[in-house]
Structure 1
Amino acid sequence: MGYYWPKMVQDSMDYAKKCEACQYHANFIHQPPEPLHPTVAYWSFEAWGLDLVGLITPKSSAGHSYILAAIDYFSKWVKVIPLREAKKENMAKFIRTHIIYRFGIPHWIVTDNGRQFSNSMIDKLCEKFKFKQYKSSMYNTATNCLAEAFNKTLCNLLKKIVSKSKRDWQERIGEALWAYRTTHRTPTGVTPYSLVYGVEVVLPLEREIPSLRMAVQEGLTTEDNVKLRLQELEALDEKRLEA
């Protein structure tokens, strides 16, 4: 059996407003509004924004002092790793291993102009795989605003879930990423997870109280499951066009 929860979204918002940690670490926006100039990507993993967070204090229990993050401009999918050192070798390895080998060669990437990203090693990587690198200057960080905004969100998420010692933040990154990837993003109107995988993630609540979709899928035959999957793929194409 499924379940019906009237005003579920409103109840969830009311519950979140009472979260002490959420209120304590909420964003305070003091910058006046100004016209937006969005960077447009036309398909998933075409363009990535990369940014480095650190030096982080205290260090993690494993000795990490930095966070390297990348966000896909189209789907808003994010990839994050902790680092002990902010070396150019780590940046090049991240782009090669976690972006190119996993999601394919991008059309372009956006980074800041720091030495970790602006060096011959990154230049050779761009030349080898035939993609472009655009750099934002220290006087115009808004060029890489998507990555900057995500890093701020990630740090706020980690502040809410780390222990009192604050040294377990590298162990909590996966939990924070899961929350971000399964939350509807305002620019697209859908979750990054659904744009990448074509279905919505199964949440813990759906295992405790089976939702309608879980109840329906468990009762379907193999043939019906195939038809349902084809319908979901067609709906995914529409979502991506709208995004």
Structure 2
Amino acid sequence: MEKISLALVMTVRKLMPYFLSHPIVVLTNSPLGRIMTHAEVSGRMVKWTVELGEYDIEYKPRVAIKAQALTDFLIEMIQPGEEEVWRIFVDGASNLSGCGVGVVLIAPSGVKIKLALRIDSRVTNNEAEYEAVLAGLQAAREVGASRVIIYSDSQLVTQQIKGTYEAKNEKMLKYLGLITTRASLFSDWSIEKIPREKNEEADILAKLAASMSDISTREVLCFIRLVLSVDEEAPPTQRSSWMTPLIGYVVHGKLPEDRARAVKIKKQAPRFVFLNDVLYRRSYQGPLLKWVSENEVEYVLREIHEGCCGEHLGGNVLSRKAILAGFWWPQMNQDAARLVQKCQARAQKKFLLVVVDYFSKWVEAEPLAKITEEEVMKFLWKNIVCKYGIPRKLISDNGRQFQGKKITSWCQEMKIIQSFTSVAYPQANGQTEVTNRIIVQALKARLHGKGKDWVEELPSVLWAYRTTPQTSTRETPYSVVYDSEAVLSVEIGQTSTRIESYPSKNDQSRAIELDLVEERRDRAAIRMEAYRSRVMKSYNKHVRS
């Protein structure tokens, strides 16, 4: 086989202009085409396969002229026998308890197959007749019939399927579409109207199925379906990709009509092989690489990059490791680089900007990769001004990002008074650090031994802080801001009183809370002043005069 392949390669090299300009047909009795396009090859045959894949070459068997003439004569003179016709009698019945379908299949040999189908759904008589026709077509398909004649005693259904009557109802149009789709699977089919007297067997089966009567005889196949054929969910269609025509050529030998695409697919085909309904790509290193679909690309990359054995590799190394694991898909480097870039952007967030409301102790926080004036201004605008309005006063430390020219000018435009903590008032500095310390401790507790990203855990920590009573006010920040306590997840798992009473008593309870909110805030303000006095008194004891 290598000698024949070498002969073809040498011919191509000597006659390269002709092979580039015209499609070439190679006549050979050897399985050269199968080896060059489908089978797995190794050694120098791989090199020759890739080289020949650049040309539009088609391999055909070489047959004797006399034998071909005899074959053509036999084809012209001998008419093939007609396929045997299956007769199918169908009928549908509908009543208050449901829908019943009766089908009787009669094989060319005279053997009868009886089928009773019950549908647990309220339908009209016409819909039941359509269901009977669909069941008959499905049964004929299952027994392997290619030519069928369907007999029904419904004038409306038979004439609508033939096109004599026009179907205007939306559901009837859906039935006609389903029948057309299923009928296209047969080489020949037709439907005929017969009198009711000639359709007694199917009529009896339909009535038995509709009335839920017990069918004791084993000659009848009984089935139950919960929904109508037109109401069944269509199976998800696979998205077409650039690999679809390549799979069609590798498996079935079909090429697209576009000549340029056909030539390109022929060049790519020697690199691929289809085994056990899975597409593989031949690797230069030897083993086959499994093709990964678009839906599975992210999982493969994330598992290699940040899974249990992940090392957070770079883009190029990540794509190479995916190949070593036995996977391949187009644009591997781009997808790997994009994932690494997202991961690095998330990992670069090392700072936390926190703002605390002086009275309610409500906290707003956002992770940042760097703390600059622009980032601080953007944070204040998005998390403070756009949510709660323009604040009266902003107290911060002496960092350059809080007292630069840009943020100072911005605060002056917004009429926001800026104040800065100093070494002269260390007790004030300590109060500003309490919230930061609580958030950091909560983050450490949630991340301990789990290896999670602290950015992803931050919203949960903020929610826990906002729903926890504070020492200074003895109220939760959520209740002080929104005049009611937040609904916790435990109240959903183990239903609380206010969840059970909603909505019958909710409006009344809410109105009472709004009437008492001013008193609640006054008590919180008194507690906060008392707490400040205790802190100041305790601090002054340790300060030398």
**TM beyond 0.5:** yes
RMSD of equivalent CA atoms: 2.0
**Equivalent in the alignment of 1:185:** 470
* Deviation per residue, 1:124-157 (Å, 9 max, x gap): 1211111211111356453343331100010000
C-alpha distance in structure 1 between counterparts of 2:369 and 2:358, whole Å:
27
**Which amino acid in structure 1 is aligned with residue 371 of structure 2?**
A
Alignment of 1:173-212 (within 5 A): 173-212=458-497
C-alpha distance in structure 1 between counterparts of 2:394 and 2:499, whole Å:
38
C-alpha distance in structure 1 between counterparts of 2:433 and 2:419, whole Å:
15
Return the TM-score normalized by structure 2. 0.32
**Equivalent in the alignment of 2:444:** 159
The 3-state SS of whatever aligns with 1:199 is coil
The 3-state SS of whatever aligns with 1:74 is coil
**Equivalent in the alignment of 1:105:** 390
C-alpha distance in structure 2 between counterparts of 1:124 and 1:209, whole Å:
52
C-alpha distance in structure 2 between counterparts of 1:137 and 1:85, whole Å:
24
Contact 2:422 2:429 (8 Å CA) reproduced: no
Larger Rg: 2
Decide which moves more: 224-233 or 106-115: 224-233
Contact 1:107 1:131 (8 Å CA) reproduced: yes
Contact 1:217 1:225 (8 Å CA) reproduced: yes
Alignment of 1:85-164 (within 5 A): 85-137=370-422, 140-162=425-447, 164=449
In the alignment, does 2:169 pair up with 1:169? no
Q: Please identify runs of 4+ aligned residues in structure 1 that moved more than 2 A.
A: 59-62, 137-147, 163-167, 224-228
* Deviation per residue, 1:103-125 (Å, 9 max, x gap): 11111111000111111112112
**Which amino acid in structure 2 is aligned with residue 226 of structure 1?**
D
C-alpha distance in structure 2 between counterparts of 1:200 and 1:164, whole Å:
32
C-alpha distance in structure 2 between counterparts of 1:85 and 1:76, whole Å:
25
Could you list the runs of 5+ residues in structure 1 that have no partner in the other structure? 1-58
Contact 1:198 1:232 (8 Å CA) reproduced: yes
* Deviation per residue, 1:172-223 (Å, 9 max, x gap): 10011011000011111110011111111111111111111211224x0xxx
**Equivalent in the alignment of 1:78:** 363
C-alpha distance in structure 2 between counterparts of 1:92 and 1:78, whole Å:
17
Decide which moves more: 92-101 or 64-73: 92-101
**Equivalent in the alignment of 1:48:** none
C-alpha distance in structure 2 between counterparts of 1:228 and 1:81, whole Å:
34
Could you say which structure has the greater relative contact order, defined with CA pairs below 8 angstroms and 6 or more residues apart?
1
C-alpha distance in structure 2 between counterparts of 1:206 and 1:165, whole Å:
26
C-alpha distance in structure 2 between counterparts of 1:174 and 1:181, whole Å:
11
Are residues 117 and 190 of structure 1, via their aligned partners in 2, closer, same or farther at CA, if it must alter by over 3 Å? same
In the alignment, does 2:517 pair up with 1:239? no
The 3-state SS of whatever aligns with 1:106 is coil
Decide which moves more: 85-94 or 133-142: 133-142
C-alpha distance in structure 1 between counterparts of 2:424 and 2:442, whole Å:
27
C-alpha distance in structure 2 between counterparts of 1:80 and 1:100, whole Å:
14
The 3-state SS of whatever aligns with 1:101 is helix
Contact 2:443 2:458 (8 Å CA) reproduced: yes
The 3-state SS of whatever aligns with 1:117 is helix
C-alpha distance in structure 2 between counterparts of 1:196 and 1:175, whole Å:
19
**Which amino acid in structure 2 is aligned with residue 154 of structure 1?**
I
In the alignment, does 2:350 pair up with 1:65? yes
Contact 1:88 1:119 (8 Å CA) reproduced: yes
C-alpha distance in structure 2 between counterparts of 1:116 and 1:167, whole Å:
29
Contact 1:60 1:166 (8 Å CA) reproduced: no
**Equivalent in the alignment of 1:23:** none
Are residues 166 and 125 of structure 1, via their aligned partners in 2, closer, same or farther at CA, if it must alter by over 3 Å? farther
- Please report how far the alpha carbon of residue 63 of structure 1 lies from its aligned counterpart in structure 2 after TM superposition: 1.5
The 3-state SS of whatever aligns with 1:79 is strand
**Which amino acid in structure 1 is aligned with residue 397 of structure 2?**
D
Contact 1:182 1:192 (8 Å CA) reproduced: yes
- Please report how far the alpha carbon of residue 166 of structure 1 lies from its aligned counterpart in structure 2 after TM superposition: 5.0
Contact 1:113 1:138 (8 Å CA) reproduced: no
Return the TM-score normalized by structure 1. 0.69
C-alpha distance in structure 2 between counterparts of 1:180 and 1:122, whole Å:
29
Contact 1:110 1:144 (8 Å CA) reproduced: no
C-alpha distance in structure 1 between counterparts of 2:440 and 2:345, whole Å:
14
* Deviation per residue, 1:6-49 (Å, 9 max, x gap): xxxxxxxxxxxxxxxxxxxxxxxxxxxxxxxxxxxxxxxxxxxx
**Which amino acid in structure 1 is aligned with residue 443 of structure 2?**
L
C-alpha distance in structure 2 between counterparts of 1:172 and 1:235, whole Å:
35
- Please report how far the alpha carbon of residue 87 of structure 1 lies from its aligned counterpart in structure 2 after TM superposition: 0.9
**Which amino acid in structure 1 is aligned with residue 462 of structure 2?**
L
* Deviation per residue, 1:35-73 (Å, 9 max, x gap): xxxxxxxxxxxxxxxxxxxxxxxx994320100000001
